Amino acid sequence: MAGDGLAVEEQFLPNGEPRSKTAPRPIGDRSARDVLQWQNVGSPPPGGGAGPPCSACLVSTYVEVGGGDNVDAYHPNLDIRAIPGVDIVHDLETGILPWHDGHAVKIKCIHAMEHISHAAGQAFLREAHRVLRPGGSLYLMVCDMDFIFERLREEGLVWWWMTSVFHD
């Protein structure tokens, strides 16, 4: 098991048996499945792709903000990084979204807001309101950093919690 990227204490179950690669990783005395039960509120939007085109600009009315190289990203996919899968390279710190008023039926923003300043976050929410059509939806997912830091304080630098703070 050496070299598989897991710390020694994470390679074995508390009873000493080897950990299955498919088994949930320990989170204190809980499993990942236990935590995920309450983490997500509501249903995530369906998988990625393009939505119906806007009649004014012919661009998809389903937009993704901060989707990176996620295969389930909506398109157009806006991100600060110029990487495969990103359609629009844009910095949210500008406070402006590059779509016209009432363009989007759906905006999906998963784990992007925790990477911008408070002022940029406020501006993003105002812009999302401007860009959304009446009755449109904003799907927003952010980390509960108080919970993450509590876990790190109590359980140490455990792989599961560290990946919630630092990303590749």
Give the model's pLDDT for residue 133: 97
Q: Hey, which residues does 110 pair with through a beta bridge?
A: 141
Kindly state the average pLDDT of the residues 105-117.
Answer: 88
Give the model's pLDDT for residue 15: 53
For the stretch 12-53, pLDDT in tens is 445 555 544 444 444 444 444 444 443 444 555 556 678 899
Supply φ then ψ for residue 154, to 5 degrees: -80, -35
Q: Tell me the domain boundaries of the chain.
A: 50-168
Neighbours of 90 (CB within 10 A): 16
Separation between Cα atoms, residue 145 and residue 119, nearest integer Å: 18
CATH of 50-168, one of 3.40.50.150, 3.40.50.10860, 1.20.1090.10, 1.10.10.10: 3.40.50.150
DSSP 101: T
Determine the residue type at 162.
M
Give the model's pLDDT for residue 37: 40
**pLDDT score of 118 more than 60:** yes
Kindly state the average pLDDT of the residues 61-69.
Answer: 92
What's the length of the chain?
A: 168
Q: Hey, which residues does 1 pair with through a beta bridge?
A: none
Class of residue 127 by CB neighbours under 10 A (exposed 0-12, middle 13-18, buried 19+): buried
Supply φ then ψ for residue 141, to 5 degrees: -130, 125
For the stretch 32-42, pLDDT in tens is 444 444 344 45
